[in-house]
Amino acid sequence: MKNITISKLTNYFEKLPGIGPRQARRFVYHLLTKDKDFLKKFSFTIKTLKDEVGQCSECFKFFDTTENKNEPCEICQNTKRKKDTLLVVEKDVDMDNIERSASYDGKYFVLGGLVPALGEKLRNEIKMKELFSKVKKDSQNGLKEIILAFSATLEADNTGRYIEKILEPIIKNTKIKISRLGRGLSTGTELEYSDKDTISNAFKNRQ
């Protein structure tokens, strides 16, 4: 008998971001050292993940909920947060990290991915159309600045240019400006791994 189950589970782990074949296999062998009860709870949490998580209808952030899965999240519902700035991030963890840094008190938008650098197709999970609609709506609602808060990478630059292009028709006759947080980060810096001071400096130095 070949070890089909081991390879099968290894393949699943390899699909996770940043996980190579060796790390994936290490996870499998590690799980084999755990008792059945742990594995049962672990797999049950994965199985029900999408049942107990909602996605905000305004900013598209994922959040824990068992009801109202398409309602606005706490941040979008919070009337104390400023409505004049919209911070666009690539992914949920970037938003979590900026929230932890306490450098920002406006609204967010989670794009769900970046635009690939060389002519590849836009992936479906990238919410460009939704961003367009959100900015269009907010532009009637006191929006003054859109901050593109991506990591300082080539793909992020490309995404910034793409967004500027698609939002141009909405903002060209308004005072809404688009600034970039990435210019306050050094090249190659990933927002996800940036500390509080780096993020707060990036806000101060945004252009």
Report the interface residues with Zn ion, using CB under 5 A. Answer: 56, 58-59, 61, 73, 76
Residue with Cβ nearer Zn ion (90 or 157): 90
Residue with Cβ nearer Zn ion (142 or 169): 142
Closest CA to 158 of 204, 202, 111: 111
Distance separating alpha carbons of residues 191 and 151, to the nearest angstrom? 5
DSSP codes, 23-53 = HHHHHHHHHHTS-HHHHHHHHHHHHTGGGSE
Q: Is there a contact between 147 and 85 (Cβ–Cβ < 8 Å)? A: yes
- 79 φ/ψ angles, rounded to the nearest 5 degrees: -75, -15
Query: Considering the complex, what minimum distance in angstroms separates the CB of residue 29 from Zn ion?
Result: 39
Residue with Cβ nearer Zn ion (130 or 155): 130
Cα separations (Å) of 109 from 11, 36, 72, 133?
Answer: 32, 40, 12, 11
Residue with Cβ nearer Zn ion (37 or 64): 64
Query: Considering the complex, what minimum distance in angstroms separates the CB of residue 93 from Zn ion?
Result: 15
Residue with Cβ nearer Zn ion (74 or 195): 74
Residues 6 or more apart in contact with residue 23 via CB below 8 angstroms: 13
Query: Considering the complex, what minimum distance in angstroms separates the CB of residue 205 from Zn ion?
Result: 26
Query: Considering the complex, what minimum distance in angstroms separates the CB of residue 60 from Zn ion?
Result: 7
Query: Considering the complex, what minimum distance in angstroms separates the CB of residue 77 from Zn ion?
Result: 8
CA angle 17, 193, 66 (to 5 degrees): 65
Residue with Cβ nearer Zn ion (113 or 116): 113
Q: Is there a contact between 95 and 61 (Cβ–Cβ < 8 Å)? A: yes
Query: Considering the complex, what minimum distance in angstroms separates the CB of residue 58 from Zn ion?
Result: 5
Please report how the helices 196-204 and 92-101 are oriented relative to each other, as an axis angle in degrees rounded to 10: 90
